[in-house]
Structure 1
Amino acid sequence: MANFNTHLNVAFMVSGTMSLTVYKAGLIDDSGFLMCVALGTIGGLLPDLDSDNSTPIKLGFNITSFIFAFGLVMHWRSELSLLALIALWLAGYGFMRYVVFSVFTNMTVHRGVIHSVPYMAIMGLGMTYISYDILNLPLTVSWFYGLFLFGGAIVHLALDELYSVNLSNMKMKRSSGTAMKFYQHKDKWWYLLLYVMLVLLVYFAPPFDEFWQQLRDPAPWAKLKIGLWPELIKNWLN
């Protein structure tokens, strides 16, 4: 399978290119452009959360542990003494970084249900739901955030499948088919749960028709076509 740097670089390049496209079409603003790049890159690392020794899972749990500990201290900062707050900070960080991390890694298997298309679709739809219904962001932006997170994850899965092909003699490696999967019989009950969650998220998702109508509107793409070439080349072509 592809390594961490490959996943990071390819996800960044793909999400950057796509973000620039929708930005130049006027469908997102400056902050939306930056968030789409970030979410697409993060999505390119998400499937490896089920790998106990992967860089994404270690980095993710380190950041989550800091945020969790900081949240505890901020919540209790007025009620507790300095020494108690320090103890709470250390306890909160240690609980997330070592206890929760240990439970998570023991419950997950690399290239298990997390490393699948329906799981990543849930992550993408969840991002759209959070953006629209909780953060109250515009509908178009919310759908783009979810799609870029999902798209980055699909890039990751596609890379892993590509790396499962031995191009020198055109043979499939043993890992072929374990990356971009929709179902695995040994995890049938987990997949049943995933698809039930996915159906519910689709049903309660923010309106897609309005977002689709904006994508089908020819005006943004006409604007993109006008700004596609530098002025020097446009003048030369004309």
Structure 2
Amino acid sequence: MANFNTHLNVAFMVSGTMSLTVYKAGLLNDSGFLVCVALGTIGGLLPDLDSDNSTPIKLGFNITSFIFAFGLVMHWRSELSLLSLMALWLAGYGFMRYVVFYVFTNMTVHRGVIHSVPYMAILGLGLTYLNYFVLQLPLTTSWFYGLFLFGGAMVHLTLDELYSVNLSNMKMKRSSGTAMKFYQHDDKWWYCLLYIILLLLLYVAPPFEPFWQQLRDPAPWAQLKVGILPDMIESMRR
């Protein structure tokens, strides 16, 4: 299995390259380019949320705990005293960081249903839905954000599968097949639930056809082809 640094670096490089390509084609603006890089990198860490001692889960719960505590304080800031707000801050952080974290890590198994393709597809589609219908972002941007999150997760799963091959004597390790999962019989009811949720999200997802038509439009890719080489090299070719 690839380690944290490998997942982080490879996800960053892949998402950065793809984001830059889409940006140079004129399909994303400056902020969209940066968000896609960030989402692809985050996606490269997401499948390890089910590992109790992984860096992503600890970092994620630390950030979530801070945000949760901050939200509580901001909601009650005008109604409680300073000492009460301090107590609420500590209680909110402690609840998320230790109680919820304990329950989550005890309910999940590493390389279980979270470490699977349908689960990551749900996260990607869910983000697309949130961006388009809740945050009111443009259709193209919403789909790119969801796809980059999902793509980063696929980079993670692919790396784990590649690391399950012993290249020195070309044989599969015992971990082979436990990363890129679409179904596992031991968790069949969980997978049934995942696919039901996935089908529902596909049914209510933002329209995909206009986004696909924009990707198929030759104009952006012609623009990318013109700017793919530095001006000096391009002039020498002419």
TM over 0.5: yes
Letter in 2 for 1:97: R
Give the C-alpha shift of residue 210 in structure 1: 0.5
1:146 deviation in Å? 0.2
Do structure 1's residue 183 and structure 2's residue 150 form an aligned pair? no
Matches within 5 A, 1:16-27: 16-27=16-27
**Aligned position for 2:83:** 83
Task: State the 1:71 CA deviation.
Answer: 0.1
Measure, in 2, the Cα distance between the counterparts of 1:16 and 1:214. 21
Q: How does 1:153-164 map to 2 (within 5 A)?
A: 153-164=153-164
Matching of residues 3-42 of structure 1 within 5 Å: 3-42=3-42
CA deviations 1:75-122 (Å, max 9, x no partner) are 000000000000000000000000000000000000000000000000
- Distance in 2 (alpha carbons) for counterparts of 1:98 and 1:129: 31
2:233 counterpart of 1:226: no
3-state secondary structure, aligned to 2:169: coil
Gaps of 5+ in 2: none
1:27 counterpart letter in structure 2: L
Quote the offset at 1:193 in angstroms.
0.2
How much has 1:8 moved relative to structure 2? 0.1
What CA deviation, in whole Å up to 9, does each residue of 1:36-73 have, x standing for no partner? 00000000000000000000000000000000000000
Cα RMSD between the aligned structures? 0.3
Q: TM-score, normalised by structure 2?
A: 1.00
SS at structure 2 position matched to 1:176: coil
Counterpart CA distance in 1 for 2:185 and 2:60 is 29
- Percent identity over paired residues: 85
AA matched with 2:155: V
SS of equivalent to 2:38 = helix
> Are 2:142 and 1:109 aligned?
no
Kindly state the Cα deviation for residue 178 of structure 1 after the two structures are TM-superposed. Answer: 0.1
> In 2, Cα distance between the equivalents of 1:111 and 1:223?
42
What amino acid maps onto 1:34 in structure 2?
A: L
Q: Structure 2: which amino acid aligns with 1:35?
A: V
Residue identity matched to 2:140: T
Give the TM-score, by structure 1 length: 1.00
Deviations 1:127-175 (A, max 9, x none): 1001101110000000000000000000000000000000000010000
Between the aligned partners of 2:155 and 2:65, the Cα distance in structure 1 is 28
